[in-house]
């Protein structure tokens, strides 16, 4: 069977104070395309726990979901008890979620949340990849869809989300898995001796420029994260037309500085690092030309 398109959609941050954190994001050129809570008629409710999802977007299709406790499912509450306010999962949209269960599990993924149909919103499940990172698989049904924003760089700094960075223990094995099992294509390869960085993209890359960066830890903050959590989803990745301005804007908006923009051999351009309100890493790079 051919591999369906796995389209990168969002990453999810477990944010303890989303109402406060939102101000930082909003001051940094972001918009809120969707907010789902207990009163949202079109959102699934299980009766097991709360729903409080805020989606954030910035000039590109890749979005962030701020999710706050008490989490809807027991498996989420367990993860939060262990990892606290980390980046919990990456979500992929597929044409048919049910059809992806067998190919993923036959290739070593396990299931964190079994397949479920959430009425007229979506069908999906949550898998765990072969190094322990969580993958949400979603299929929209009916007319439901998390709204997109316009795909244009935002503000004077021309800021846009680009995707997600995932830290790996065995980088080669993970690149192989995501290309062979999820059909991702390599758009940039800066590996040597199973060390470095790779950008992967799905079939919709031409129209929706989103990448999944798979990397070994590079800066101290990434080493610290990997020491604490093991292989994990480490960072939200941005590109900016004016990197220095985007970086200064982030600091002014209340993000914490990790390291000022500096040249990174792996991507052939300058990149800077800040922390978002919940403490996760945000990487801002010069505009991708590939
Ligand atoms: Fe999600």
CA 44–ligand 1 middle distance (angstroms): 13
| Predicted structure pTM score | 0.95
CA of 66 to the centre of ligand 1 (A): 9
Residue 71 pLDDT = 81
175 CA distance to ligand 1 middle (Å): 22
CA of 186 to the centre of ligand 1 (A): 24
63: CB partners within 8 A, 6+ apart: 9, 10, 33, 55, 56, 57, 146, 161
Q: What is the pLDDT of residue 122?
A: 87
Contact 64, 11 (CB under 8 A): yes
Under 8 Å between Cβ of 144 and 120: yes
How far away, in angstroms, is 243 Cα from ligand 1 center?
28
Least Cα distance to 112 among 140, 75, 143, 138 occurs for 75
Q: What's the 107 CA to ligand 1 centre distance in angstroms? A: 22
Residue 91 Cα, ligand 1 centroid: separation in angstroms?
Answer: 6
CB 117 within 8 A of CB 103: no
| C-alpha 13 to ligand 1 mean position (Å) | 9
| Res 105: pLDDT | 98
Residues of the chain with CATH 3.10.180.10: 7-140, 159-286
- Residues around ligand 1, an ion, CB closer than 5 A: 12, 65, 91, 136
Place of tokens 């299929």: 139
177 C-alpha to ligand 1 centroid (Å): 21
Distance from the alpha carbon of residue 193 to the mean position of ligand 1, in angstroms: 33
Please tell me the distance between residue 139's alpha carbon and the centre of ligand 1 in angstroms: 12
SS3 250: helix
What's the pLDDT score for residue 42? Answer: 59
- 214: nearest Cα among 196, 239, 227: 196
For residues 265 and 126, give the distance between their C-alpha atoms in angstroms, rounded to a whole number: 35
CA of 120 to the centre of ligand 1 (A): 17
Architecture per CATH, 7-140: Roll (3.10)
52 alpha carbon to ligand 1 midpoint, in Å? 11
Per-residue pLDDT, 7: 95
Report the alpha-carbon distance of residue 241 to residue 116 in Å, rounded. Answer: 41
Per-residue pLDDT reduced to its tens digit, 61-82: 999 999 988 787 888 899 999 9
- Measured in Å, residue 65 CA sits from the centre of ligand 1 at 6
CATH number of 159-286: 3.10.180.10
Task: Give the distance (Å) from ligand 1 centre to CA of residue 28.
Answer: 22
The length of the chain in residues reads 290
Question: How far is ligand 1, taken at its centre, from the CA of residue 55, in Å?
Answer: 9
Name the residue among 180, 173, 87, 185 with its Cα closest to residue 131: 173
CA 153 to ligand 1 center in whole angstroms:
24
| C-alpha span between 57 and 196 (Å, rounded) | 28
- Joined together, the tokens standing for residue 12 give 């999810």
Cis peptide before 144 (omega within 30 of 0): no
CA 239 to chain centre: 15
Task: Tell me the backbone φ, ψ of residue 208, rounded to 5 degrees.
Answer: -125, 85
Using 50 as the pLDDT threshold, list the residues of the chain that sit under it: none
Count CB neighbours of 95 within 10 A: 12
Question: pLDDT tens across 107-149, in order?
Answer: 999 999 999 988 778 899 999 999 999 999 999 998 888 888 8
Are 1 and 85 spatial neighbours (Cβ–Cβ below 8 Å)? no
53 CA distance to ligand 1 middle (Å): 9
Q: SS3 for 26? A: helix
């Amino acid at each position: 069977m051919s591999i369906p398109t796995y389209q990168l959609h969002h990453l999810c941050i477990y944010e303890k104070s989303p109402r406060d954190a939102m101000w930082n994001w909003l001051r940094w050129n972001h918009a809120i395309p969707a907010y789902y809570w207990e009163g949202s008629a079109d959102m699934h409710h299980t009766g097991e726990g709360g729903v409080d999802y805020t989606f954030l977007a910035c000039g590109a299709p890749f979005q962030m979901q701020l999710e706050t406790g008490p989490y809807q499912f027991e498996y989420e509450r367990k993860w939060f008890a262990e990892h606290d306010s980390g980046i919990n999962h990456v979500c992929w949209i597929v044409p048919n979620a049910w059809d992806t269960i067998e190919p993923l599990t036959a290739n070593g993924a396990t299931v964190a949340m079994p397949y479920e149909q959430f009425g007229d919103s979506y069908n999906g499940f949550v898998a765990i990849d072969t190094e322990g990172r969580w993958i949400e698989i979603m299929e929209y049904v009916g007319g439901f869809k998390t709204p997109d924003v316009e795909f244009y760089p935002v503000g004077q700094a021309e800021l846009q989300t680009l995707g997600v960075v995932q830290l790996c223990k065995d980088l080669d094995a993970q690149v192989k898995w995501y290309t062979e099992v999820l059909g991702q294509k390599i758009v940039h390869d800066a590996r040597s001796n199973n060390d470095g960085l790779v950008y992967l993209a799905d079939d919709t890359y031409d129209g929706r420029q989103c990448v999944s960066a798979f990397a070994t830890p590079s800066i101290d903050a990434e080493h610290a994260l990997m020491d604490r959590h093991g292989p994990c989803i480490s960072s939200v990745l941005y590109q900016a037309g004016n990197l220095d301005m985007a970086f200064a804007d982030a600091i002014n908006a209340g993000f914490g500085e990790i390291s000022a923009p500096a040249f990174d051999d792996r991507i052939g351009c300058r990149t800077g690092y800040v922390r978002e309100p919940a403490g996760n890493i945000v990487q801002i790079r010069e505009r991708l030309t590939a």
